[in-house]
Amino acid sequence: MISQHRVASVGSEEQQRLQREAEFHDRRFGENTRACTDKFYSIAQASFSWYRQRLLENVDGLRVLEYGCGPGDIAFAAAAAGAIAHGIDISPVAIDQARAHAAEAAGQVSFSVDNAEQTSFADASFDRIGGSGILHHLDLHKAYSEIARLLKPGGRAVFLEPLGHNPLINAYRDRTPSMRTEDEHPLLRADVRECARHFSKVRPRFFHCLSLAAVPLRHFAVFRPTLAALSGLDRLLLSTHAPTRWLAWMVVLECER
């Protein structure tokens, strides 16, 4: 269940949406229901590496918040790099798993169940905020506003998110509805424009389109050279000003307060 003090101020429809998200992610982390999608992430090293690099850059001594932390990832990495790190998630199961590992983790790290659209933190609490695959589960206007509120002036937010303009990827999503919640939606151009209204700078970087074709080869020797070649083509197809960039599977949003 979601902590009652975090939902008392929202209407019944909002509370039901939050409850659906919490229950879905409790099942996801408790039963590892998304293991079958791991094959697609075999080609996603470039986007994850860029996300982690930009989020964890020079975090020693900073206060870092991981949004939608699950069992903990960036929060642990930030703490190991010298940050004072905290992770939040709507799923009590995920937070229990994160806390179970926190005692053995390096550095200062803690976790709590919280509503990412209306957190329990004071204004300007963090120097760095990030998350992977979390924004598309949220009411984006509320989430962007909350992230901007939580960031200190000059702070940075970095998020890795799926995009929703590629028809082939969307066809796969339509065929696998049990893999996602009824309320989530991959980000669209309008969502990125909305983000820009809340931050002084927003820099999107796009990843993975043609490289998805390498997924069936992941168990063969040709996988790595094929992925390298397709990723090279993706860098042209998905470059900053290319009109085809919106066909990407993933985007890293780097936002400055």
pLDDT digits (tens, 9 = 90+) for 237-253: 999 999 999 999 999 99
Domains and CATH numbers, the chain: 4-256 (3.40.50.150)
What is the per-residue pLDDT for 218? 93
Cα angle value 115/117/121 (rounded, 5°): 70
Output the pLDDT for position 54: 98
Provide the CB-side half-sphere exposure for 39 (13 A, CA): 10
Q: What is the pLDDT of residues 66-98, one digit of tens each?
A: 999 999 899 999 999 999 999 999 999 999 999
Query: Which pLDDT belongs to residue 109?
Result: 97
pLDDT tens digits, one per residue of 17-45: 877 777 776 777 666 655 555 677 789 99
Q: Measured between alpha carbons, how far is 44 from 62 in angstroms, rounded to an integer? A: 28
pLDDT at residue 32 in the model: 60
195 vs 42: which has the higher pLDDT: 195
User: Computed from CA positions of residues 107, 113, 115, 121, in that sequence, does the dihedral angle turn out positive or negative?
Assistant: negative
- DSSP states of 132-174: ES-GGGS-HHHHHHHHHHHEEEEEEEEEEEEBS--HHHHHHHH
3-class secondary structure, 106:
coil
Q: What gap in Å lies between CA 217 and CA 53, rounded to an integer?
A: 27
